[in-house]
Chains A and B, each alone.
Chain A
């Protein structure tokens, strides 16, 4: 009984995560600025990656396959999800800080720059 529940939960998480990944990809095409594209990158990496990895782990745990295949893929998916949760926001933060300070990507529709007023540029 619990296996059917795990299978349904895992497959619905995977379909939700695939749709979120597609939404993030379309957002990369439609936004016009680097600092706006950071939002769709968050949707694509956390919503499209971590939810899918957790769903894949739950789905694999409920199958009727040999144990070394099942637990191997379960462990790899959980460890990868933990690494992505740690690494992806850190990388985005480092990259946006460097892009602002080096003037590589300027925030184009800019009304008031409080970082420059505070002398933190």
Chain B
């Protein structure tokens, strides 16, 4: 079995790089020129946020904080579907 104190070398580096990517995606979502760009960046940002949840749960050593990842992962498809349906229906009108 590996000593859990080894995590102190791995977790801050990974969490820092993921936080940097998360901030760049949030700037893209706020700035993006067209609507599909913003929805696409929101998808990738959701995937990053799942890993950030699991890393926070590993930091606090509490399994209750990790359960939020599964509803977040299953709602990725919904916003794409709704926005695509809105765009096609407005064009047809």
Whether chain A touches chain B in the assembled complex (some CB pair under 8 Å): yes
Interface of B is mostly: helix
Cα separation A60 to B61 with both chains bound (whole Å): 11
Number of interface residues of B (CB under 8 A): 53
B71 → A minimal CB distance (Å): 10
Whether A73 lies near B37 (C-beta < 8 A) is: no
Q: Are A98 and B50 in contact (CB under 8 A)?
A: no
Out of B21, B28, B39, which one reaches A95, CB within 8 Å? B39
| Contact indicator per residue, chain A 71-112, by CB within 8 Å of chain B (1) or not (0) | 011001101100110011011101111110111110000000
Q: Which residues of B contact A104 (CB under 8 A)?
A: 34-36, 87
Q: Are A28 and B41 in contact (CB under 8 A)?
A: yes
Contact status B47-A34, CB under 8 Å: no
A38 and B40 in contact, given A84-B47, A87-B76 (Cβ under 8 angstroms): yes
Interface residues of A in 1-41 (CB under 8 A from B): 3-4, 7, 11, 14-15, 17-19, 21-22, 24-26, 28-29, 34, 37-38, 41
A8 to B35, CA, bound (A): 41
